[in-house]
A and B are shown apart, each in its own frame.
Chain A
Amino acid sequence: MIQDMKPEDIIGDYKETLLDLYGSICRVVLYTDIETPYPDGKLIVSTTDKNGIITHVNKSFVEMSGYTEAELINAPHSILRHPDMPPAAFKDLWDTVNRGEKWQGFVKNLRKDGGYYWVKATVIPNIRHGEVVSYTSVRRKPSRTKVDECIKLYPTLF
């Protein structure tokens, strides 16, 4: 499951806030200004069940998130939710994949150590025998121009 972030895990000066996650969970989130650059040439991949609970992560996902694979599997995907991300973005994500369509967007993710990283994410429904069985997100390196646009836009969406 998802736990409060712990000061001993955080690297650098941090701010503290509370996030309402997954409908009911209230998480203490600690976050810093330290950006980890997206690794060149890699894709960050994860799969969730229909409720957004993580069922699979690749190596790049583990490395970038700062969590161990065991901490990630069975956790809600909002374990990466950064307070600077407007809720409207995730509403749009879920509305889109629930229609059976592909969603694309730029996401600022929160690391276990309080730092962050930007990705360009594509979320698709995994359809087997005509039914949606899970969702997969494939992230690639975003361009700096697009990230700078999001840094300006996202605060206006709260």
Chain B
Amino acid sequence: MSYLFTVSPDFTPVHLSGWYIFNTWLQRQSGSPIHLEMYNDFPTQRLAIHNDQVDLIFANPFDAAMLVREKGFLPLVKAAGVSDEAIIAVRADSAVEDVAHLSPGITVAVTEDPDVTMMGMIMLEAGDLNAGNVETTIFDTYVLVAKNLLNDSADVGIFLAEAYDDLSSIVKKQLKILVRSQISVIHHSLMVGPKLADRRDEIQALLLSMAEDDKGKDILKSLGFDNWVKVDDEDMEFMIDLMEALAT
């Protein structure tokens, strides 16, 4: 029997090959067959989780509560120095300088990233905007969010900060950041499901020593960070509480 590993569908495309290399490394190190399945979107991934098909996941913080409380997942690690942050941006030539200048009825361009959209909407709330009085349009990628701001079909974009920073400089020159979140405690986490629960400590130890050799270091680099950091049960519970506090 092989285990199924999946990554939150919001991973940056440049890191796709990195996840496959990481999966191969993990199979060798753990001596267990692990199959990496990259789902195209959150609904498909959630259905697989619901059907108990997933054993290992690099999860979006938004799904953490469901994974831990309903599906018995346990946290292992998070990426060192990486947190999920959101950016609210408008066109550079817009007269708007603060979210307080935005009016109900505007069009907000987002992606399906559930935690980024949530953080973005919280920042818009300071301008009396909410899901009930704005028009939300969902795009597949942050590049499309940017394009739709530039061609005037959206007034405001909600970006994952990392994705915004990765936009080309030509695009960024035509955009203006209104707010960048500095939350720092909301992050993706690698977690194991019930079938791997008895191997949690072993897998966690493998991951935490991954940066000790050159091969491991290279793989981490291809994922976009330098090391893993332990996430214990209380760290995870605290993040779930924060997400719950922010959910409305």
Binding site for B on A (CB under 8 A): 38, 40-43, 45, 58, 60, 102, 104, 120, 122-124, 126, 128, 136-138, 140-146
Contact = CB atoms under 8 A, between A and B. Distances in A.
Given A42-B182, A140-B125, A128 B237 contact: yes
B242 A41 contact: no
A127 B246 CA distance: 16
Q: Is the interface of B mostly helix, strand, loop or mixed?
A: helix
Contacts of A58: 185
A89 B185 CA distance: 28
B245 A122 contact: yes
Interface of B: 100, 122-123, 125-128, 179-183, 185, 234, 237-238, 241-242, 244-246, 248
Q: Which 7 residue pairs are nearest across A and B when measured between Cβ atoms?
A: A138-B245, A141-B126, A122-B245, A41-B181, A143-B128, A41-B179, A40-B179
B181 to A, nearest CB: 4
Contacts of B248: 102, 104, 122
Given A123-B245, A126-B237, A140-B246, 16 more contacts: A40-B123, A40-B179, A41-B180, A41-B181, A41-B183, A43-B242, A60-B182, A102-B245, A102-B248, A124-B244, A128-B234, A136-B238, A137-B245, A140-B122, A141-B123, A142-B126
* Central interface residue in A60, A102, A140, A144, by most chain B CB within 10 Å: A140
A121 B94 CA distance: 31
